[in-house]
Amino acid sequence: MPEISRFFGISIKMFFGDHLPPHFHAEYAEFKGIIDIRGLVMLHGNVPPRPLGMIVEWASLHQAELLDLWERASRNQVLYRIEPLS
> What is the residue extent of each domain of the chain?
3-74
Q: Which one, of 73, 85, 63, 86, lies nearest residue 13 by Cα? A: 73
C-alpha 82 chain-centroid distance: 10
pLDDT in tens, 46-81: 999 999 999 999 999 999 999 999 999 999 999 999
| Structural contact between residues 72 and 26, judged by C-beta atoms closer than 8 angstroms | no
Residues 29-40 have pLDDT tens digits of 999 999 999 999
Cα–Cα distance measured from residue 70 to residue 65, given in angstroms and rounded to the nearest whole number: 9
For 66-82, give one letter per residue: b (16+ CB within 10 A) or e.
Answer: beebbeebeeeeebeeb
